Structure 1
Amino acid sequence: MKSKLGVTCRFGFALALLMALSPLTPQVYAEDDKGYEEYSLGEIVVSGKGASVRDIAISDEVTVEDFEAVNAESVADALTYVPGVQVTYGRKAFPSISLHGFDQNRILTLIDGVPYYETKYGGMDLNQIGLESVARIDVVKGAPSVLYGANALGGVVNIITKKPTETPYLSATGEYGIAGMDDAYKASLAHGMKVGNFNYWLSYAHREWDSWDLSDDFEPRVGEIVRRPGGTEETIIEDGDERLNSDYKTDNFWAKVGVEPSEDTEVYLNFHYITTEKGDPANLDSIRVFSDFSHFDRITAYDDWGLDLSADHAFTDRFNLQAKLFYHDHNDDYASYSDQTYTEQIALSTYKDYILGGMLLGEYQMVDWNTLRAALHYKKDSHEQRDIEDLPFAESQAYTGSASLENETRLVDDKLSLVAGISYDWFDISKAEDDPETDGNIIENDTPDMTDAFNPMIGATYQLVDSVQLFASVAKKTRFPTLSQIYSGDEPNLELDPETAINYTAGVAYAYESLFKLQVAPFFHDISDYITRDVPPTENPYSQYKNYDEVEMLGFEVSAEVRPFTDLSFKIGYMNNNATNKSDGRVTDEVAKVPEHTLNVGIQYTLPVIRTRLNVNMLYVGESYYQLPNPDDPDLETIENDDYTLFNAKITQPFLSDRLETFVAVDNIFDEDYEPTSGYPAPGMRAWLGLTFRM
């Protein structure tokens, strides 16, 4: 195993550099204007204009200060420490985001209110979205507003970007990996300015490394490589030290241009371009290799670009209308290789997606104590796929819409707020092509009838006293099946229904000035028509996805923030989640991939005078099931994902009137060896040395 001597020397050098710079820090700490605002047109439920609509659900706001405290480099990193959220990595080096046990395909992910996902599978790699242009991430669990649109079965993640203020802004950050990675560095630049009615925001970021290291405690084990044709080979797939095929490179460019001709009107054009190339570290236990597809693979391109046009106009003091038009384009290439040397490429699969759509959001305040809101969403999804480079593309197209109405009434001197809403959501596939034999003979599949659903919700908040607020809500949510689920198997399943969840939330929030905040929130999710392939073969002769499972999730969240002194703060978040399989014919009551316990703790302390900032974070994730026996295979082995406890730390030293900061950040301080997803060991200890300049 590799020695930690070099790591210790580099970490010690970085710490000494911080201490050497600290005398340059002025004795008086001045907090400057941060130089940006949150992009209000990126919100669906706007802060301050409908606060009770946000408060009826369990929600979190992840801010720039939260990003910096954990040295997050992407949206996936920033979500890792949110109560009730779990982030793990598995196939395709893809971060799997779950809210209360709902995986990423069952939650609605938005950037500035615009849907962000792959049109075939439903998820998207949130690790590729850098944070240089992100002002806040809203995480809403359980019963989000009907105004968000369709497919928010378990909740919503809305990534809100930055816009400039009248103070010109410029920042630059550079980081170098001093331990746990090979040739790792990050660099970013952001600039924004507002001149009269015109403003713009620009940012660019680059991240890359050649590989990351496994823990020193990692022990190689024998796995199997199954070749069809060719048979099964038992071998060690990963021998430790540097993780094979773990390189990564991504570039992010974001631009926002806005015109605000009056206090009543805003028009903005947003553009983003993201390009990523990455290795996909192999599963340690089992690999499949076919003549035209392999689990020894690389993602040679994972690229996105998009344009969003947003406009908002207040026609009167009581009536406001917002409109959005958007086009998002996604392309990824999946290169298959014959073995773990990744030298002989056997196939290149290509996927092309685009989303074209728009939305209208209206708000009318009929009287001072009542506000009516409405939304209309409509979009087209396009997917093109070819499994081998020489083949033509098979095309699919689908349309999704949502029309919603929501009313908020404030009573008892605004202490009581009642929110009621309903949405009508629909999904229609107009075209579905396939190449089942991978021979270039494209066939036109039949398409299902249009699927629709009504989704009502109701909620309330009550300000018991100035420091105590009560809230409760219940909402019916649906999630339409993906193209992959409908058209997988030996034959399409055109009768696949949407999944349904009845989400109940309640809670109490207590705040004592700025010294102490506490929220306790029970939740219950009753999920029916859950889509799965784990169905008895007698009921599923064509290996299709079916509406088979019934699942219940009962638990609670506790979050608290304590600030006994101005320079010292503690944050604690805990979730307990008991997930139970209630399906007829079930083999077990357990549910896969839902940990019963998660705990996160964050401590920040700023040293007097020299203003050195210390951040320490702890994350605990309890055991969960990776694989369970099921009706399709009742003798299947039960495999558990590891429980794990991680400690991260960051030391930041500001100087030159806080315009310059240097920092050292360490992830997995104790070099814990763990597999959050079975077969996929996580990185060992990693450390970064960085410098940030702002003006």
Structure 2
Amino acid sequence: MNSFMTHSSAITKTWLGCAKNRGVWRLTALCAALSCSGMVYAEDTDNSAVFKLGEVVVRGDIGGSLLLGETTLNETTMERFNRNNIGSAATMIPGVTLASSGQRNEQTVSIRGFDSRRIAIFMDGIPQYVPYDGNVDLNRFTTFDLSTLTVAKGNASLLYGPNVMGGAINLVSRKPEREFEGDVRMGYASGQERLFSVNVGSRQEQWYFQFGASYLDANGFPLPKGFHDQKKSPTDLGSYRENGHYTDKKLSFKLGLTPNATDEYVFGYVRQEGKKGQPVYTGERKGNRFTGRFWQWPYWDKDSLYFMSSTDLGSDYTLRLRAYADSYKNGMDNFSDASYTTLQDTRSKYDDKTYGAAAELVIDRWANHEVHVAFNYKDDRHKDIQAGYATKNYRDITYSLAIEDYIRLSDTWRMRAGLSHDRRKTKDANIWDSGAVDKATNGVLELVHNVTPTTELFGSVAHKTHFATIKDRYSASFGEALPNPDLRPEKAWHYELGLRTEAWEGGELEFTLFRSNLRDAHNRVDVPGTTCGKYECRQYQNIDRARHQGIELSVEQQFSPEWRAGLAYTYLNSKNRSEPDVKLTGLPRNRLFAHVGWKPHAQWEFLATLEAENGRYDEGVVDKYEQLSGYGIWGLKTIWSPRSDLSIEAGVRNLGDKYYELSEGYPMPGRVWFANAIYRF
């Protein structure tokens, strides 16, 4: 506890004394002071259109209205702040940080220091990560057809299933509430970004349907003021980022049957089609690894077919079922130069499939207890297809059995206790032996005390694990790596202590201290040429230990009918305990998202946002590691609603045209102007 208090003091010093970004962080401190004095704003909380079967954790009276460690954004919030993909939406939540894999043009996030491979993405409770490497490009997942986005952190429910060591993000689709309803959205932004989406639904007495379609396309993005391509042979000489194009199309449909007041049966299908370019590195580092990657993905496609149900088995039991079949296909073209006309190699293709099922029994038989028993099954298959070579096949089957009990200890005390056991069996490993079995056990204990009707204290401890991916175990990385089929699961202990209150009118405050200890983490080590065959190579081994600890602060309040504001702040102190001199890259020490809204008239609303961070390390040009410059970017937006069913908006992102990077050599967008129109019916 003393170490946490020490870091609390460090936050104040960092806010007021950041050497590189003194002005931004003084402003951050001012925003925090204003928020704590009541100048904050509460988001809309209407969740009538939420598809409840898509939520992983559904609780009754004992479980409470929300699970601690979980934060939910609804569609109104995501729309208000123009969060078109789930990565940008999730970073509005304390503890979530945006990352960018510049070398693959992928957007990922970390939760309390745990990167995207150690957290899990779900859509209506169905795992979305690619079986091969456990990753997913969040740019390919748009928010236009979502009702909510929920982030669960280190103490996430065990009902999510295996491999949720660092947390989970669940995207929940819509469910119609009226006989006929929907919306249409159109927009345009700098970089010739075009968007169109439509959602239509109908609710009848014993059935309903929901349909959604969206299209998002851009030729690139404007480069910020001060940008200069540092390469010897520069490729970005104009005002827009070269090879930064993308196109994302999505189609979703579900049909629900509701034969009575308690039961529900749903069939659904989701189709995603994407393609993208890979902007070239523009920094000072040399070598083909950085300057010679002229890549494009002509397709990044995903299909999902699923069934979900909830059936009451008498007054004390509810059975929830989920079954799905997903396919992931993508291809990558490697060109010889920036003209993108001549292929250097044949197209690289991945073909992954996942078949899964889950069953959950909710038991309300015993007084003051709500017991959840869940079984998860997942069959992951990966094909590595290279022209001129035999197709490499890999297959893993993973099982998980979990039990969680929500307990009412008294009128003011609640507890959640859970235990799960996971097993993974390798069924096909190309040239390697199959049949290997990995095992892991997870647990969680959470305690909540209502100090007053509007204030609660909470604390939790959790032990979580993560199985090694197919890529980490078997990839040879074009001859640069030595596979290691014997990689053991990673393990982490999570601790948190916090306060949540609504002690003053119209406001909410949440303050959390957290710490996570990671061991047996997978990292690459150098292996001598005598082992690799000829040249020195690298191999993933269970060698790393790390510690992440910090503070999260969230304040929201509407303090008058016209004014509302809020902020989400994270302080993160991460340390490599195996090699203290080796930095943990991609993790900012301080991150802030703040917003102020003014609605002087029923038809007009004005919104201002600030996103700021500092303390992020990356691989260096001169030194082995370098700290990227901190930044603060402003956004402004005006919303005109001439009718209750129509909104027209215009605004700007990165108002100051600030130059900043999340990964060295890969600049983020400069000033972006946008306009949108939304019609609801």
Task: Name which of structure 1's ranges 39-48 and 573-582 shifts more when overlaid on structure 2.
Answer: 39-48
Paired letter, 1:543: R
Structure 2 CA distance for aligned equivalents of residues 35 and 196 of structure 1: 20
Which of residues 79, 83, 87 in structure 1 aligns to 2:90? 79
Matched, 1:420 2:411: no
Look up the match of 2:441: 454
1:531 pairs with one of 517, 522, 526: 522
SS in 2 for 1:55: coil
Secondary structure in 2 matching 1:127: helix
The answer (yes or no) to whether the contact 2:527–2:539 under 8 Å persists in 1 is: no
Q: Contact 2:179 / 2:204 at 8 angstroms: preserved in 1?
A: no
1:67 aligns with 2:65: no
Give 1:94's match in structure 2, choosing from 102, 106, 109: 106
Q: Does 1:604 align with 2:597?
A: yes
* Contact 1:496-1:547 within 8 A present in 2 as well: yes
Q: CA deviation at 1:206?
A: 0.6
Q: Does 1:262 align with 2:260?
A: yes
**Of 575, 585, 603, which aligns to 1:592?**
585
* Offset at residue 411 of structure 1 (A): 2.1
**SS in structure 2 opposite 1:123?**
coil
Worse overlay, 390-399 or 338-347: 390-399
| Contact 1:264-1:315 at 8 Å conserved across structures | no
1:210 maps to which residue?
Answer: 219
Q: What is the correspondence of 1:112-511 to structure 2 with a 5 Å cutoff?
A: 112-177=124-189, 180-181=190-191, 183-222=192-231, 234-285=232-283, 286=285, 295-346=293-344, 347-388=346-387, 390-413=388-411, 415-433=412-430, 444-447=431-434, 449-489=436-476, 490-511=481-502
Distance across 2 between alignment mates of 1:113 and 1:592: 30
| Matched residue, 1:573 | 568
Matching residue of 1:28: none
> How far 1:542 sits from its partner (Å)?
5.0
* Structure 1 residue 494: Cα displacement: 2.0
Q: Which residue of 2 aligns with 1:29?
A: none
Range with greater deviation from structure 2 (104-113 or 533-542) = 533-542
Normalising by structure 2, report the TM-score. 0.88
Question: How much has 1:77 moved relative to structure 2?
Answer: 2.2
Cα deviation 1:184-209 (Å, max 9, x = unaligned): 21111110001221100001111112
Amino acid aligned to 2:395: Q
Give the 3 Å change call, closer, same or farther, for CA 581–628 of structure 1 in structure 2: farther
Q: Which residue of 1 is the match for residue 5 of structure 2? A: none
Q: 1:561 to 1:461 in 2, by over 3 A?
A: same
Q: Deviations over 1:450-478 (max 9, x none)?
A: 00011121111111111110111101000
Aligned pair partner of 2:118 in 79, 84, 106: 106
Structure 1 residue 638: deviation in Å? 1.6
After TM superposition, give the deviation of residue 289 of structure 1 in Å: 5.2
1:211–1:248: 8 Å Cα contact kept in structure 2? yes
CA drift at 1:368: 3.3
8 Å contact kept, 1:70–1:649? no
Q: Is the 8 A contact 2:103 2:278 kept in 1?
A: yes
Letter aligned with residue 65 of structure 1: T
Deviation of 1:537 after TM superposition, in Å, equals 5.7
Cα deviation, residue 48, structure 1: 4.8
Q: What are the ranges of 5 or more consecutive residues in structure 1 without an aligned counterpart?
A: 1-31, 223-233, 434-443, 630-634
- 1:624 pairs, out of 616, 635, 647, with 616
Q: Counterpart of 1:655 in 2: which secondary structure?
A: strand
Instruction: State the partner residue of 1:678.
Output: 664
Q: Structure 1 residues 649, 49: CA separation in 2 closer, same or farther (over 3 Å shift)? A: farther
Contact 1:535 1:548 in 2 (8 A): no
- SS of the residue aligned with 1:271? strand
The alignment's TM-score, normalised by the length of structure 1, stands at: 0.86
Give the total of aligned pairs: 626
Equivalent position amino acid for 2:322 in 1: K
Give the AA of the match of 2:670. G
Could you say which residue in structure 2 is the equivalent of 1:44? 56
Q: Which residue of 1 aligns with 2:554?
A: 559
Given that residues 318 and 361 in structure 2 are in contact (C-alpha distance below 8 angstroms), is that contact kept between their aligned partners in structure 1? yes
Partner SS, residue 56 of structure 2: coil
Conserved? CA contact 1:448–1:494, under 8 Å: no
| Superposed displacement of residue 143, structure 1 | 0.6
Question: For residues 97 and 324 of structure 1, what CA distance do their matches in structure 2 show?
Answer: 27
Confirm or deny: 8 A CA contact 2:527 2:538 kept in the other structure. Answer: no
1:470–1:55 CA distance, 2 compared to 1 (3 A): farther
> Post-superposition shift, 1:366?
2.4
Q: 1:205 to 1:152 in 2, by over 3 A?
A: same
Please give the secondary structure, in 2, of the residue aligned with 1:367.
coil
- Contact conserved, 1:53 with 1:419, CA < 8 A, in 2? no
Could you tell me which runs of 5 or more consecutive residues in structure 2 were left unpaired when the two chains were aligned.
1-43
Counterpart residue identity of residue 602, structure 1: H
Offset at residue 641 of structure 1 (A): 2.9
Label 1:494 to 1:170 Cα distance change in 2 as closer, same or farther (>3 A).
Answer: closer
| Match in the other structure for 1:230 | none
Question: What is the CA distance between 1:448 and its match in structure 2?
Answer: 6.6
Partner of 2:641: 654
Q: Secondary structure at the match of 2:462?
A: strand
Shift of 1:569: 1.4
Q: Which residue identity is paired with 1:500?
A: K
Q: Which whole-Å deviations, capped at 9, do the CAs of 1:392-415 have from their partners, x for residues lacking one?
A: 4211111111101111210222x2
Q: Deviations over 1:7-28 (max 9, x none)?
A: xxxxxxxxxxxxxxxxxxxxxx
Q: Which deviates the most, 59-68 or 354-363? A: 59-68
Question: Quick check: 2:62–2:368 contact (8 Å CA) kept in 1?
Answer: no
